[in-house]
Amino acid sequence: MTEKKFTTMEQMESDSKILFDRACDMCIDTWQTRAQDQKNHCKFGEDGVCCRICSMGPCRITPKAPKGICGADAHAIAGRNYLRTVVGGAAAHSDHGREIAHVLYEAARNGSYQIKDEEKCIKVAKEFGIETEGRDIYDIAHDLAYAGLNEYGKPFGTLKFVERATEERQQLWKKLGITPRAVDRECTEAMHMTHMGNTADATTLVRAANRAGLSDGWGGSMMGTEFSDILFGTPHPMETEANLGVLSKDMVNIVVHGHDPAMSEMVVITAEMPEFVNRARELGAKGINVVGICCTANEVAMRHGIPMVGNFLQQENAVLTGAVEVIVADVQCIFPALGPLSKCFHTKFITTSPKARIPDSDFIEFTASSAEESARNIVSIAVENYVNRKKDNLFIPEHKETAVVGYSCEAIIKELDGVTNTQVDLTGTYKPLIECIKSGVLRGAVGVVGCNNPRVRPDYSHIEIMKKMLKNDIIVVVTGCSAQAAAKAGLMSKEAKELCGDGLKRVCDLVGIPPVLHMGSCVDISRILMLITDVAKQWGINTTELPIVGCAPEWMSEKAVSIANYVISTGIDTYLGIEPQVKGSTEIMDLITERSRQDLGAGYIIEMDPEKLGDAMIAGIEAKRDALNI
Ligand code: XCC
Ligand code: SF4
């Protein structure tokens, strides 16, 4: 057997360079040129000490002017900015979750959306105290969606899914006053707290950030994940491909971009319909090729095996190939640059959400009731656009890798069951995994998540840190754009076991998994929360004691800061490769690092050098092992 050659960073960068040069030749800007134009970032913004919350300002903190006009100091200003960042992220994730709840509410046996996972529907409905015996599944789903929607604005009590957390976390959150109440309440209250003339106390602001983050992770995101599984099916392992090479030179290429699976699912299903496939053939194409970008890619990869054309910073590259008939987006992480860029090609850029209207795009609204019609419209536009492709002006880089995707918690347990099926007491649990960690065959686990970012060498930190973990027998779970970085480098292929230390390699062989497990999109970090929680419960220790860490080496979005807040609040140290914009306040810096570790048992570790960041993660895991005496 010949040894597998993995796509290298250099190969990927050389593909990007060719596409970038194409853009330059056509006098179009891309993120590379714009990042160059923006490279002298505003220092006040970077440090979080510019306040423009009222029109007496903007006030900027300097040694000579240590207070804003109202008297707010650096700590108040940086803390308010930080809290507002978290709220932006929590609102985005949770509103995504709300949209899915609305789709679930509209699901009908003969409607556009049906229930795919009845078992999960019943299980979650029971959690909400909904009667399930002898009832029609759609009646149950309807009640569940209603209960879920109520989680956003209920006047009293705390979020239902909080009860899934360990007893220790629930008590601690109560003690610290950070148990999330209604999702919208956390966001609204935080906006109120940060209004001119309200909270100026740093600790209170950071606590509110923890609580808003928790309302995302254990609220909006968790509902997004559970309800998506109910509607579209709980993911199980399947093979797909990743990187720009998944674009086809002789098929109609449709890129689905954004986050909400309601749109992408419908496009995927519609593109398989014979009437569209036949029409594509009539027009000289070999068929229709749907591929994904950003979190939407994760959603359709793990449920349909749809290839992942790339992650966040690759969205312009996809269009620059000249091979994309339609790029269709719903919400979040969509570059406005796609508008003018698509105009330079035959590519149609279609937006679908009233929440993300972008100039130079065609708007085709996507709602639960118009879904089928909108999807037909979108696929038809793509097919008819194939004849406009300039075949002599294509550049599709050839690099692509295979990847196994779709490791939901249910799927992981099923894989583990496969190796212990004779031991009844282990079936249906994470115990085999726990045993591997206890014995040291695996040293621990990390979740690598989040975006890529021009502030660093894009994807490099993701890939290098993962490789380092594998070599050190640390199993990796991934979501979001980190998952696509891993896939592009071949780290989610079964052959990636060759990059592992002996222990992890053995586990991969035995269980038949790749060493980097794809757990989905960024809202699916809620799956990681449940994984951590159930492992801790079955182990009989607290989440803070687990030899497990989180890492967002190249994060850029507000959503990432919200995630980081719920991950540390759940007791998992989070290693950041990009600094949060609070450096101008020693107090906030202390609150999110050292004091967070004292109060929550976990906090941030910030290190811009990926090599050192990886070393720190390993040291963190080993320290947890020492404390457990394993
Ligand atoms: Fe967006 Fe979710 Fe970041 Fe990727 S990882 S750039 S947030 S698509 Ni979520
Ligand atoms: Fe300046 Fe205070 Fe107004 Fe902020 S709230 S802009 S610090 S006066």
Which pLDDT value is given to residue 3? Answer: 81
Percentage, residues of the chain above pLDDT 70: 99
Q: Quickly state the pLDDT bin for 418 (edges 50, 70, 90).
A: confident
Q: 369 in a domain, yes or no?
A: yes
Ligand nearest to the CA of 195: 2
When comparing pLDDT for 421 and 537, which is higher? Answer: 537
Question: Are both 387 and 515 inside the same structural domain?
Answer: no
Q: Is the pLDDT of residue 275 over 90?
A: yes
Question: Are both 504 and 595 inside the same structural domain?
Answer: yes
Q: Is the pLDDT of residue 2 over 80?
A: no
69 in ligand 2 pocket by Cβ < 6 Å? yes
Q: Give the residue, out of 44, 52, 54, with the most ligand 2 atoms within 8 A of its beta carbon, to mutate for a pocket test.
A: 54
Ligand nearest to the CA of 562: 1
Q: Is 480 left (phi over 0), alpha (psi -120 to 50) or beta?
A: left
Ligand nearest to the CA of 563: 1
Give the CA count within 13 Å in the CB-facing half-sphere of 60.
Answer: 7
Q: Which of 201, 232, 263 is the last residue of a domain?
A: 232
Q: 67 in a domain, yes or no?
A: yes
Q: What is the pLDDT of residues 257-269, one digit of tens each?
A: 999 999 999 999 9
Q: Give the residue, out of 225, 452, 522, with the most ligand 1 atoms within 8 A of its beta carbon, to mutate for a pocket test.
A: 522
Question: Are both 254 and 152 inside the same structural domain?
Answer: no
Element (H, E) at 59: strand 59-60
- Tell if the pTM clears 0.85, that is, is over it: yes
Domain CATH for 600: 3.40.50.2030
Percentage, residues of the chain above pLDDT 90: 97
Which pLDDT value is given to residue 1? Answer: 54
Which pLDDT value is given to residue 87? Answer: 98
Nearest to 587 by CA among 219, 92, 49, 134: 49
Question: Are both 353 and 457 inside the same structural domain?
Answer: no
Q: 46 in a domain, yes or no?
A: no
Which pLDDT value is given to residue 27? Answer: 85
Question: Lowest-confidence range among 80-89, 178-187, 410-419, 540-549?
Answer: 410-419
Atom of ligand 1 lying closest to residue 332 CA: 1
Q: 15 in a domain, yes or no?
A: no
196 in ligand 2 pocket by Cβ < 6 Å? yes
Cβ neighbours of residue 1 closer than 8 Å, sequence gap 6 or more? none
Question: Are both 277 and 315 inside the same structural domain?
Answer: yes
Atom of ligand 2 lying closest to residue 57 CA: 6
Question: Are both 598 and 458 inside the same structural domain?
Answer: yes
Which pLDDT value is given to residue 419? Answer: 82
Q: What is the pLDDT of residues 23-82, one digit of tens each?
A: 999 989 999 999 999 999 999 999 999 999 999 999 999 999 999 999 999 999 999 999
Contacts of the segment 147-150: beta carbons below 8 A, 24+ positions apart: 148/97, 148/101, 148/104, 148/223, 148/227, 149/98, 149/101, 149/102, 149/105
Q: Is the pLDDT of residue 422 over 80?
A: no
257 in ligand 1 pocket by Cβ < 6 Å? no
**Taking each helix axis from N to C terminus, what angle separates 221-232 and 74-106, rounded to the nearest 10 degrees?**
20
Nearest to 432 by CA among 446, 419, 443, 445: 419
Q: Quickly state the pLDDT bin for 424 (edges 50, 70, 90).
A: confident
Question: Are both 222 and 249 inside the same structural domain?
Answer: no
Which pLDDT value is given to residue 573? Answer: 98
In this prediction, residues 546-561 reach a mean pLDDT of 98
Question: Are both 425 and 387 inside the same structural domain?
Answer: no
Q: 572 in a domain, yes or no?
A: yes
Question: Are both 227 and 282 inside the same structural domain?
Answer: no
Q: How many domains does the chain have?
A: 3
72 in ligand 2 pocket by Cβ < 6 Å? yes
Whether residue 407 contacts residue 237, with contact meaning beta carbons closer than 8 Å, is answered with yes
Q: Whose CA is nearest to atom 8 of ligand 1?
A: 294
Q: Whose CA is nearest to atom 7 of ligand 2?
A: 68
Q: Give the residue, out of 49, 50, 52, 59, with the most ligand 2 atoms within 8 A of its beta carbon, to mutate for a pocket test.
A: 59
Q: What is the pLDDT of residues 200-232, one digit of tens each?
A: 999 999 999 999 999 999 999 999 999 999 999
Whether residue 238 contacts residue 492, with contact meaning beta carbons closer than 8 Å, is answered with no
Q: Which of 344, 371, 393 is the last residue of a domain?
A: 393
523 in ligand 1 pocket by Cβ < 6 Å? no
Nearest to 532 by CA among 464, 489, 477: 477
Which pLDDT value is given to residue 423? Answer: 76
Q: Whose CA is nearest to atom 6 of ligand 2?
A: 57
Q: 473 in a domain, yes or no?
A: yes
Dist. CA 496–CA 501, nearest whole Å:
11
Number of C-beta neighbours around residue 512 at 10 A: 13
Question: Are both 273 and 304 inside the same structural domain?
Answer: yes
Q: What is the pLDDT of residues 312-346, one digit of tens each?
A: 999 999 999 999 999 999 999 999 999 999 999 99
Q: 197 in a domain, yes or no?
A: yes
Q: Which of 197, 232, 267 is the last residue of a domain?
A: 232
Ligand nearest to the CA of 557: 1
Q: Is the pLDDT of residue 163 over 70?
A: yes
Which pLDDT value is given to residue 425? Answer: 80
In this prediction, residues 376-390 reach a mean pLDDT of 98
Q: Quickly state the pLDDT bin for 180 (edges 50, 70, 90).
A: very high
Q: Where are the alpha helices (DSSP H) in 272-369?
A: 274-282, 294-304, 315-320, 338-343
Q: What is the pLDDT of residues 187-200, one digit of tens each?
A: 999 999 999 999 99
Which pLDDT value is given to residue 62? Answer: 97
Question: Lowest-confidence range among 366-370, 486-490, 529-533?
Answer: 366-370
Q: Is the pLDDT of residue 578 over 80?
A: yes
Which pLDDT value is given to residue 622? Answer: 98
The three-state DSSP-derived secondary structure of 181-222 is CCHHHHHHHHHHHCCCCCCCCHHHHHHHHHHHHHHHHHHHHH
Question: Are both 436 and 303 inside the same structural domain?
Answer: no
Question: Range of 224's domain?
Answer: 54-232
In this prediction, residues 456-484 reach a mean pLDDT of 98
Q: What is the mean pLDDT of the chain?
A: 97
Q: Is the pLDDT of residue 421 over 80?
A: no
Q: 366 in a domain, yes or no?
A: yes
Q: Quickly state the pLDDT bin for 473 (edges 50, 70, 90).
A: very high
- Residue 247 Cα, ligand 1 centroid: separation in angstroms? 21
Question: Are both 253 and 210 inside the same structural domain?
Answer: no
Please report, as a single letter, which amino acid is at residue 469.
M
564 in ligand 1 pocket by Cβ < 6 Å? no
Domain CATH for 92: 1.20.1270.30
